[in-house]
Amino acid sequence: MYGDTDISPQFRVDATVLLDNATVFFFEYAGGRDKALADGPGTGDSFHSRLATGFTRTFPGKVSVTLEYDYDGSSANRGAWSALAQIQRVTANTGIQSRASKS
């Protein structure tokens, strides 16, 4: 459980399992109330989940390969990405540049 004065409590669960001498499976989940990246001003907190899962395999020669899946329920949704793409098209057509692109 994690929380702070500006952060609602976040619940978290982690698990790691050794599948054989060279393979480790991992699972991490966190959930709690917060703002999503796509939420507009004045929008209240809502429940969002975050997940990371996968496995790591170590091969001869001490070479390790990790396959991981990540999910973040508070990240930008399709609508937010579309709005950003539209803003970039408009600024490109009008010649407006951000400070970051000038340097």
Domain count, the chain: 1
What's 26's DSSP letter?
A: E
Number of residues in the chain:
103
**pLDDT value at position 103?**
52
Element (H, E) at 82: helix 78-94
Q: Is residue 43 part of a domain?
A: yes
Q: Is residue 1 part of a domain?
A: no
For residue 68, what are its two tokens?
């991981």
Which structural domain range is residue 29 located in?
10-97
Q: Is residue 39 part of a domain?
A: yes
Q: Is residue 102 part of a domain?
A: no
Q: Is residue 5 part of a domain?
A: no
CA–CA dist 48, 32 (Å, integer):
6
**Strands ordered across the beta sheet of 10-20:** 10-20, 23-34, 46-59, 63-72
More confident site: 97 or 37: 37
Strand ranges (E), the chain: 10-20, 23-34, 46-59, 63-72
Question: What's the Cα-to-Cα distance from 68 to each of 14, 25, 52, 59, 82, rounded to whole Å?
Answer: 14, 10, 7, 17, 26
Give tens-digit pLDDT for 45-73.
Answer: 888 899 999 999 999 999 999 999 999 98
Q: Is residue 55 part of a domain?
A: yes
Q: Is residue 103 part of a domain?
A: no
**pLDDT value at position 81?**
79
Q: Is residue 35 part of a domain?
A: yes
